[in-house]
Amino acid sequence: MATREELSEFLAGVERRAFKQAMYAVRDESHALDIAQDAMLKIAESYGDRPAAELPLIFTRILQNAIHDFFRRSKVRSTWVTLFSSLTPSDDPDADPLETLEAIDDSRAESSETTYSREQVVSIIEEEVARLPARQREAFLLRYWEDLDVAETAAAMGCSEGSVKTHCSRATHTLAKALQERGITL
């Protein structure tokens, strides 16, 4: 059983990473913060009596489910909004309901070209990360995606801290070279 202190330490340690994962998934800061907080509340309320060693896996599943629930709710919400907007009365029976919708003036909105370009770059980066040798890829993802420090990465990989640094250095150099060859500069 996890004590209150262990649970508090776990939540404090996972808070930033959970927010980053949610932010990557939903791409909206306020929604990502809500998702991360909901997941933290749920683990504290429902799983606080579990052993401390089980908390990371349980929390990961709770966070993923919270992200999926967000997308489900968004889909349902947009369906209902669409259905209700089609019920708005119009003087002209031949009028297109879509013409009555006002365009959202959002200066932060990306053009479709920018979105497509970004998606292409992300796809290329994912391909290049997948081409890395297994240990380099593991060290790179743990350090830079999971945001673990060198000691935590070494413990997770079962190797020395020096090996983690070597694997990460080689991975970043290999990725930089591969991306540069493909015309991508970050």
Residue 155 CA to residue 161 CA, distance in Å, equals: 8
Residue 38's pLDDT is what? Answer: 94
Q: Which residues of 38-64 are buried (b: 16+ CB within 10 A; e: fewer)?
A: bbbebbeeeebeeeeeebeeebeebbe
Structure tokens at 131: 């081409």
pLDDT one-digit tens code per residue, 64-83? 999 999 988 887 777 655 55
The predicted-structure confidence for 39-67, as pLDDT tens digits, reads as follows 999 999 999 889 989 999 999 999 999 99
How confident is the prediction for the chain on average, in pLDDT? 83
Q: What is the pTM of this model?
A: 0.47
* CA atoms of 139 and 182, how far apart (whole Å): 23
All domains in the chain, ordered by first residue:
4-82 (1.10.1740), 111-181 (1.10.10.10)
Query: What is the Cα–Cα distance from 77 to 73, expressed in whole angstroms?
Result: 6
